[in-house]
Amino acid sequence: MSRAYAALLAALLAGPHALAQDAEIQRELIRRDQQTDAFALELRQSQTRSRIAPGDSQRRGEIEANQLRERQRLEGVGQRQLLEAGRDTPPELRPYERIKAEQARRVLLAPEEPAPAPASREEIDRIRAPQPPAQTNAPY
């Protein structure tokens, strides 16, 4: 009887530790997903910055400010997710918790459609300027 009692006592004592370890694993998986998403965001942002004309410091400043806000928003969501991960979640629902966290981050990672640059005055004048008739080498 003492063996059965010892086994039961060991199982009861290991139970909370095992659950805490499972919650910690879930947090680490979410943290890893967040790192991947942060890398993807920064890669996309650097590609966007590389398309800016070198002398266009005003546009570069606007884009960099927007990109900083995007990174801060993603980081804030990530911090909240880590605080909530595994807390009061039954072990069988933890995979869904990770999927839900990923979906919340994906909304922030969606590439924004860049607004077309306004046409310059020269482009407008070129479009409106009358075009000379096409010259042909035809003998007629």
Give one DSSP letter per residue of 74-127, joined into a string: HHHHHHHHHHHTTTT--GGGHHHHHHHHHHHHHHHHSPPPPPPPPPPHHHHHHH
* pLDDT tens-place string over residues 81-107: 988 887 777 878 888 888 889 998 888
* pLDDT tens-place string over residues 64-82: 999 999 999 999 999 999 8
CA distance 115 to 42: 20
Q: What angle do CA 74, 75, 79 make, to 5 degrees?
A: 120
**pLDDT confidence band for 41 (50 / 70 / 90):** very high
DSSP, collapsed to helix, strand or coil, labels residue 132 as coil
* pLDDT tens-place string over residues 13-31: 544 444 456 778 888 999 9
Q: Quote the pTM value.
A: 0.61
CA distance 97 to 82: 11
Question: In the prediction, which pLDDT does 86 show?
Answer: 73
For residue 38, count CB atoms less than 10 angstroms from its CB and return exposed for 0-12, middle for 13-18, buried for 19 or more: middle
**pLDDT confidence band for 127 (50 / 70 / 90):** low
